[in-house]
Structure 1
Amino acid sequence: MRNFHRVLSTVLPIMLSVGLAPAALAQTDAYPERPITVVVAYPPGGSTDLTGRAVADQLAKKLGVAVIVENVGGAGGAIGAHKVSRAAPDGYTLLLGANNEIAINRLISPSVKYSYKDFTPIGLVASQPMVLVASAQSGVKTVDQFIKTVKSRPGKYIYGSSGVGTALHLSAEMAKQQAGLFMSHIPYRGVGPLTTDLYAGTVDFGVYVLSSGLPHIRGGKVVALGITEKKRSAVAPDIAPLADHPSLNQMDISVWFALMAPPNLPEAITVRLRNALAESLQTPEFRKKLEDSGSTVAPLNVEMNGFLAAESAKYQKIVDFANIKE
């Protein structure tokens, strides 16, 4: 008994110093014991929501507990992301977020008080290219025509996106920077109003997430000029990358989705979630659902800290070039 007390008096202070008291260890070992909430920082129905629900469904199967999606929209995803960044680090509140709320918002808005460093990254889930389109009335049908047309009358032409500082906005600004273009941006409150003005020819060019743009492209209402990733998309292999043009050969930007947790998540819970996500990414039904929506499922074992730092640095360059500030 004296030996036991001697060992305990040695080990317990060490456990407490790293936050691993016996009760905490027991809770970690038992995780998960109750339903998990996955926050999606946008209203239902969009690509982030679809991805979040697909992830939640698979995590429920892998972890053996209910996984509930909570839509917390507002401020370009910042409200929902901020909520998760301040949640208890117990593994019961997660964020299925996109690049906007995880890595871009902080670069644009001083009111956003968190950064990607204020999360424990679980893993990259998927990505989806954006597509640059032209109004049918513009007469522009190729990337080369687009560049020559915009350069011929600097400042005359207008492009639209779904909002200031979105990945769609930044992708067009990246193209402007690389090709030396000058055209004005109109931010729209969603895809619907942008589409109406593209159909009418009120706006010359626009940027869609590929899955949102394909119905309008296939219907002949707008003209696809190119996708923003360097590789072709499996769901639209006929649309060439913008990077195929010499003036845009560095274009490589996408909308991506990642599963994140609050900071300081215990290592055992982090590993449990990462393993469950990795298993989910390899599930055929999950892959088909995301691929049918226009996304490419992420490879396994992406080193998230490096990935997030590189993405943030890329966006910072575009934000600085375009002088995008709220």
Structure 2
Amino acid sequence: MKLFRSTILFATSILALAVTPLHAQTTSNYPDKPIKIVVPYAPGGFTDILARLLSQKLSDQLKQPVIVENKPGASTIIGAESVARAKPDGYTLLMAVTTTLSSNPHLFSKLPYKLADFKPVALAGLTPFVLVANPSVPANNVQELVSYAQTHPGKLSTATLGNGSSTHLVLSMFRSATDVNIIDVPYRGASLALSDLVAGHVDLFFDALSTSLPHLQAGRLKAIALASEERQETAPSVPTFHESGTPEMLAYSWYGLLAPAGTPDHIVEILNKTVNEALASPEIQERFRAEGAEARMISSQAFGELIEAHSKTWGDIITALNIKLD
């Protein structure tokens, strides 16, 4: 009987060694191989630049290569779906943007992913929208612009990136807040829109501050107002819509890392802590300021709440406009 009991105990110990360490090995040693960040855009844009800035910092801190892989197309859907279907082990991450989870779920009824397919990891940054104008526009602030638009209905034109795009939604927000009649001119890309704006073929554009900033600094465009709570260090002379009398005009593009649903909590905590440490570095802070972006160090839970808050904002506008892209 003693021999039988000893055999059972020995077998149980062997089973524990065979199972428990295997699970521990997959999580407690994290990371022990390269990490991949999927960017759902082509190389060269702000999302890609941000991912590459973070990848270097994360690689230095985690002592593992952090590789950026670009998977552009279909309004970020291709890249997002690939991560949603990836193994939830912390080695495949998505550099998501507002489009991915705050507007796409309201625009596409057959979206191949949902918010529940992801686990928020860390907010990387926020870029406020700025209303920029060609220098020929006879208005230098919100009040003058609204007055001109109301006395010249249909005279002003605004570039957007098409029906349901963030630029179109911010324009809709502005129309609702000010009751102005401004013509919407859709473009296939921000670079084309900005080129035509600089050339004077359109009058206005709601752009991310990060991409308009070089044109503002060079005097090729002028800024009407920022859709942020506070003025920005990189453009201190540009007032906010809030201080210009339209406080409902708050609109940001957010950028952040997401993991597949089911990724262990302690891996998310490691990544969140590491990203926040990277964002706090003087190098990243300086680069963010130069790009007109805000670095905010928050918890993964707070990031999830931010995604949901932005989803409600854009969802309400999309529902009111009855926009569907499929």
TM-score when scaled to structure 1? 0.89
The corresponding residue for 2:263 is 265
Partner of 2:117: 118
CA 1:33–1:155: 2 relative to 1, 3 Å: same
Shift of 1:261: 0.5
Give 3-state SS (helix, strand or coil) of 1:197's partner: helix
CA distance in 1, matches of 2:279, 2:244: 33
User: Aligned residue for 1:51?
Assistant: 50
Q: Check whether the contact 1:81–1:102 (CA below 8 A) recurs between aligned residues.
A: no
CA distance in 1, matches of 2:160, 2:181: 16
Q: Which residue of 2 aligns with 1:185?
A: 184
Q: Does structure 1 conserve the Cα–Cα contact (< 8 Å) formed by 2:34 and 2:66?
A: yes
* Alignment partner, residue 159 of structure 2: 160
Relative to structure 1, the CA distance from residue 146 to residue 279 in structure 2 (aligned partners, 3 Å threshold; closer, same or farther) is same
Question: Which residue pairs with 1:138 in the alignment?
Answer: 137
Shift of 1:204: 2.0
Residue aligning to 2:284 = 286
Q: Structure 1 residue 301 and structure 2 residue 299: aligned?
A: yes
Q: Is the counterpart of residue 277 in structure 1 residue 271 in structure 2? A: no
Q: What residue identity is the alignment partner of 2:275?
A: L
Identity within the alignment, %: 31
Contact 2:272/2:299, CA 8 A, preserved across alignment: no
Q: 1:4 & 1:29 partners in 2: Cα distance?
A: 30
CA–CA distance in 1 between the matches of 2:90 and 2:180?
Answer: 46
Q: CA deviation at 1:89?
A: 0.4
Work out the CA distance in 2 between the residues paired with 1:143 and 1:324.
27
Shift of 1:227: 1.0
The letter of the residue matching 2:93 is: L
Question: How far off is 1:300 after superposition?
Answer: 3.0
CA distances 1:209-241 after superposition (whole Å, capped 9, x unpaired): 112112222333222101111211111111111
**1:253 equivalenced with 2:251 (yes/no):** yes
Q: How does 1:201-216 map to 2 (within 5 A)?
A: 201-216=200-215
Contact 2:84/2:260 (CA < 8 Å) preserved in 1? yes
CA distance in 2, matches of 1:182, 1:5: 81
1:98·1:258 contact (CA, 8 Å) conserved in 2?
A: yes
CA contact (8 A) 2:40 2:76 kept: yes
Aligned to 1:220: 219
* SS in structure 1 of the partner of residue 113 of structure 2: coil
What is the alpha-carbon distance in structure 2 between the residues aligned to residue 169 and residue 148 of structure 1? 21
SS in 2 for 1:296: coil
Q: Which amino acid aligns with 2:63?
A: G
Letter in 2 for 1:231: E
Q: CA deviation at 1:99?
A: 0.8
Letter in 2 for 1:196: S
Cα distance in structure 1, aligned partners of 2:255 and 2:6: 52
Q: CA separation in 1, counterparts of 2:93 and 2:285?
A: 21
Equivalent residue, structure 2, for 1:16? none
Between 258-267 and 25-34, report the one with greater CA deviation.
25-34
In the alignment, is the contact (CA less than 8 A) between 2:229 and 2:250 conserved in 1?
A: yes
Shift in Å, 1:281: 1.9
Which residue in the other structure is 1:35 paired with? 34
Structure 1 CA distance for aligned equivalents of residues 37 and 47 of structure 2 = 12
C-alpha displacement at 1:98, in angstroms? Answer: 1.2
Any conservation in 2 of the 1:103–1:115 contact (CA below 8 Å)?
Answer: no
Q: Show the counterpart of 1:321.
A: 320
Aligned mates of 1:239, 1:322 — CA distance in 2? 30
Q: In structure 2, do the counterparts of structure 1 residues 110 and 8 end up closer, same or farther at CA, with 3 Å as the change threshold?
A: farther
Aligned residues: 318
Q: Displacement, 1:6?
A: 6.6
CA distance in 1, matches of 2:221, 2:77: 31
Q: Does 1:128 align with 2:133?
A: no
Taking structure 1 as reference, are residues 121 and 6 closer, same or farther at Cα in structure 2, changes over 3 Å only? farther
Structure 2 unmatched runs, 5+: none
1:21 Cα deviation after fit: 5.2
Distance 1:231 1:47 in 2: 22
TM-fit CA distance, 1:279: 1.8
Partner of 2:150: 151
- Mapped to 2, the partners of 1:218 and 1:224 lie a distance apart of 10
Question: Residues 301 and 270 (structure 1 numbering): CA distance in 2 closer, same or farther, change over 3 Å?
Answer: closer
SS at match of 2:44: coil
AA at the equivalent of 1:53: R
